[in-house]
Amino acid sequence: MKQFLTAIIILSILGCQEDQKGYSVSGELKNVEDGKMVYVSELDQNMQPSKIDSVQIKNGAFTLDMAEVEHPNLSFLSVEGYNGNVIFISENEPINFEIYKDSLPTSKVDGGKENEVFYTYLDHLKDLNKRVMEIRTGMREVMTTTRDSAAMAGFQQQEEELRTTDMNFKKNFVEEHPDRFASVLVLTDMMNMGASANEVKELYGTLSENATKSSLAKSLEDNLSKRSATDIGSKAPEFSAPNPEGEQISLKDSMGKVTLIDFWAAWCKPCRVENPNIVKVYNKYHDMGFNIIGVSLDREGQKDKWIQAIKDDNLTWAQVSNLKFWQEPVAQLYGVQAIPAQFIIDENGIIVAKNLRGDALDAKVKELLEK
């Protein structure tokens, strides 16, 4: 699963004069040798971190005056020679860091109203991820030992309930903070988690004008337009892509009375955990007209891992991939930004459900086939 946010919190004191423009970043780094560089990056127009300034560490600390920003933006602080980064929101306020060099994502950030709100969301994500990992650890233990279907169903139900709780938190967050850039980040996460484009678009429409001026907001608007084309009730976009043997396989040729378009990858652990359930549903309903076409987001040069995962997980249905990772054309056509992602279409090619797992997938396929 594509992960979007990691965090750090940091502490220092910086005075702010009334006529001060721009913002500053400062912080402490214990046991880091002087001369190491601290880099500040921000999201560019291509939604990639781009370095915009740097400063050397002196006496275990750093201070950097930054240019005034027109609007808040997602930014990153990194340290030469150390893995990871600190995520923060740039705004025209002093921002202070207390950096833990051996675990940058657990560092501390303090300063600015945007960051105060943002870090309440990051705290929620930390707790959510902890609970998800506990559930998936339990699922893996069952898969490698008893393979108890009732136990697996219980874990899947827990995960679905957690997902619902998370979505409700996100909706409430946006409703409570319509003037904050952090709400754009939350809406982006909602879309990545499979929320309907119409729902996200409606919430986006409640944001203030200032909150929607960033490049991330513009990217979200573009993705919402694409996602609307693959929302429930829309006609599934036609596509074709090569299978492991290099033969072009199309959606049209793979359709049954009910068809699942399954976006996954060999490297995606949540996908691999869900695959046994998809196999079970396929074996149960295939003779009744249920088909699947898998679309892999595996990397170029790792075709062998893709093929081995197909074999190991007993995925006997059509599989295609251009081996372009997140630039997979079919994934982009469907607005997929996180996996696993699934689209269920009827015999007319209309999308009737999305991102159903566990018993929910079984129940929906059964319902559609019995119509």
Phi, psi of 323 (to 5 degrees): 55, 50
What is the model's pLDDT at position 307?
97
Give me 281's structure tokens. 């549903």
What is the model's pLDDT at position 21?
62
Q: What's the pLDDT band for 6 if we cut at 50, 70, 90?
A: very low
The residues, any chain, with a CB within 8 Å of residue 361's CB and separated by 6 or more, are 260, 277, 278, 281, 342
Phi, psi of 307 (to 5 degrees): -65, -40
> Does pLDDT of 181 surpass 50?
yes
The mean pLDDT of 99-124, rounded to a whole number, is 90
Q: List, as own/partner pairs, every contact residues 31-34 make where C-beta atoms lie below 8 angstroms and the sequence separation is at least 24, other chains included.
A: 31/60, 31/101, 32/57, 32/60, 32/79, 32/82, 32/99, 32/101, 33/57, 34/58, 34/59, 34/60
What is the model's pLDDT at position 188?
92
Q: Which domains does the chain have, with CATH numbers?
A: 23-111 (2.60.40.1120), 115-228 (no CATH), 240-369 (3.40.30.10)
> Does pLDDT of 75 surpass 60?
yes
What is the model's pLDDT at position 13?
25
The mean pLDDT of 153-173, rounded to a whole number, is 92
The residue written with tokens 């952090």 in the block is 182
Which residue did the predictor score with more confidence, 196 or 248? 248
